[in-house]
Structure 1
């Protein structure tokens, strides 16, 4: 049985991918195979990097990519307001918001019998044997505290169908982040995906959160299929470590610790990839655990690591701050507006 790691990436996250690959090599071993799933066709830097690593390959089954993009497109067809909102906000040229993110589903068709999926904005902190071992008992394994956050990031809690379709126990305990998970090959075969689409088209599509992308659908797929589920951060809370960059972790020898225990991984979720690019170009960007990232990014090329970091101009800071504020407020207001409209129309 072959175990491995999948990563979704393109050249826009090149610096993060290099850091992640180095962290895997150092903290899990050079022998663990890694397959990079292309986010799009911008892959020149990644292809060049792969040639330097014997354990890394590029996923090239484009029939699988097409299958999952078509699956995602069909899955959202039954949603009553998502397409309208995406169009109003100019969020999608393809008809589906962030369609490329669904390419991560290709891990169900790939070469590994048991696998762990990493978003590119992560760093591995320890060996993964215990995760693969847990897959001997469960079909789906996660390790995050997403279940403690607002459910509306994943599902529309105003929809009665959510509570009709799933038990309170599932809703309470099985929400997970799609940036890191473990499962098995062919976990979602043609028979399962057909049944999932039937359920969505029966009216359940509206429970998916329109402002999310692959994450809401993947959670739905796991719930609706009824496969066995285990979350270290829920089922073994006393021993679980955090993984989000906003937490206060201890740094020892380039490894992060949470209350004396090694993290499994650090997830830079919601931190823009452009910040990491700017950092690697010598700009003094405020990124949590910046030294940890730089350590792994330049582990194999220390001579390329920036030694002097310049401050962005005052104008650039103001422009960036204003842009972020306006974007966040617009997202929040638009979300509340459509939640209200949806409630009125029920």
Structure 2
């Protein structure tokens, strides 16, 4: 059985991708990591991450391209803001038997692949407080609750699409095709008001097809928060803590990564973890 990590990236997010991989490899030198190209402009990020951290390109890029084309055929042109974000859904058909998907605007503070042990009990897990802080916002419209598309218990399992895990084959290609078609006929189910793309559709897929799922923050003992918009985390030795408990990861979802922004110096530390520190103006010019 092969376990590992998937990311989606192109050359535009090179700095973020390096930062994420620097943090992952700090704790885990061996875990397989695959890059799913966001579009055709990925050679620089692929070569850089391969050289630095032995990241491999998803072995069937043709399948990814075909999947993207299929998305364009299934969904009306004005349905999805950034259709290529849907490429992360190919993780269920890739080389890894068990996997964690991680957005590139994240850094981790532990050997993150060890969390895959939870898949001995469930077929999917996430680790965030979206259900508590955001409710259905950026996922489903009130219509879904009003029309009982999902039960109240199911709706408690909504999640942010930046960090989650599952296993190969839990969703089949036919189930994926059928569900995407269902989604394309019911735009009224979803909340795209703030420009999200994949998150509503991914939530629909998981709630519909994966009964054995959990959110790690809802287990006894729980987990810390993870959103970079939360300013109360304490830093020690370039690791964040929430009331003395170490964060699993930090996610800048919807929060700009920039000088003066949330946890900028921490991001900068991991970005240049293996490089000589550059003068600030030179670093800014590079970006």
Equivalent residues of 2:75, 2:181 under 8 A apart: no
Match of 1:151 in 2: 136
Q: Tell me, what secondary structure is at the counterpart of 1:141?
A: strand
Cα 1:241–1:290, aligned 2, differ >3 Å: closer, same or farther? same
Aligned equivalent of 1:30: 29
The residue correspondences of 1:48-127 to structure 2 (distance < 5 A) are 48-53=47-52, 55-73=54-72, 76-77=75-76, 86=78, 96-127=80-111
Query: In the TM superposition, what are the counterparts of 1:284-303 in structure 2 within 5 Å?
Result: 285-301=259-275, 303=276
Determine if the alignment matches structure 1 residue 182 to structure 2 residue 149. Answer: no
| Deviation sequence 1:201-242 (CA, Å, 0-9, x none) | 6x5442022342100000000111143110011234x43111
User: Alignment partner of 1:115: what SS?
Assistant: strand
The answer to whether residue 279 in structure 2 is matched with residue 307 in structure 1 is: yes
**Partner in structure 2 of residue 2 of structure 1:** 2
Report deviation, 1:291.
Answer: 1.8
Q: Which runs of 5+ in 2 are unaligned?
A: none
Partner of 1:120, secondary structure, is coil
Q: Look up the SS of the partner of 2:39 in the other structure.
A: coil
Relative to structure 1, is the Cα distance of residues 272 and 308 closer, same or farther in structure 2, using a 3 angstrom cutoff?
closer
- Quote the Cα distance in structure 1 between the aligned partners of 2:280 and 2:112: 35
How far off its partner does 1:309 sit?
Answer: 4.8
Pick aligned residue for 2:179 from 189, 196, 199? 196
Indicate the residue corresponding to 1:270 in structure 2. 254
Secondary structure (helix, strand or coil) at the match of 2:7 reads strand
| Contact 1:8/1:38 (<8 A) preserved | yes
State the distance in 1 between where 2:124 and 2:74 align.
Answer: 21
Structure 1 residue 129, shift from structure 2 partner: 4.8
For residue 44 of structure 2, what is the aligned residue in structure 1?
45
1:299 is displaced (CA, Å) by 1.0
Which residue of 153, 165, 189 corresponds with 1:207?
189
The verdict on how the C-alpha distance between 1:156 and 1:131 changes in structure 2, with shifts beyond 3 A counting, is: same
Q: Are 1:140 and 2:120 matched, yes or no?
A: no
Q: Deviations over 1:70-129 (max 9, x none)?
A: 45445544xxxxx5xx4xxxxxxxx74201101111211211110000101000111225
Contact 2:108 2:249 in 1 (8 A): yes
Do the aligned partners of 2:4 and 2:113 also contact (CA within 8 Å) in 1? no
RMSD: 2.3
For 1:141 and 1:152, locate their aligned partners in 2 and report how far apart those are by CA, in whole Å: 20
Change (3 A) 1:120 1:60: same
Residue correspondences, number: 279
Distance 1:69 1:152 in 2: 26
Please report the TM-score for the alignment, with normalisation by the length of structure 2. 0.88
Aligned to 2:11: 11
TM-score calculated relative to the size of structure 1 = 0.74
Shift of 1:31: 0.7
Q: 1:240 aligns with which of 174, 198, 223?
A: 223
Secondary structure at the aligned position of 1:164 is classed as coil
2:24/2:112 contact within 8 Å kept: no
Question: Which residue number in structure 2 is paired with residue 279 of structure 1?
Answer: none
Question: What is the distance in 2 between the residues matched to 1:161 and 1:256?
Answer: 36
Task: Give the Å deviation of 1:169.
Answer: 1.1
**Higher gyration radius (CA):** 1
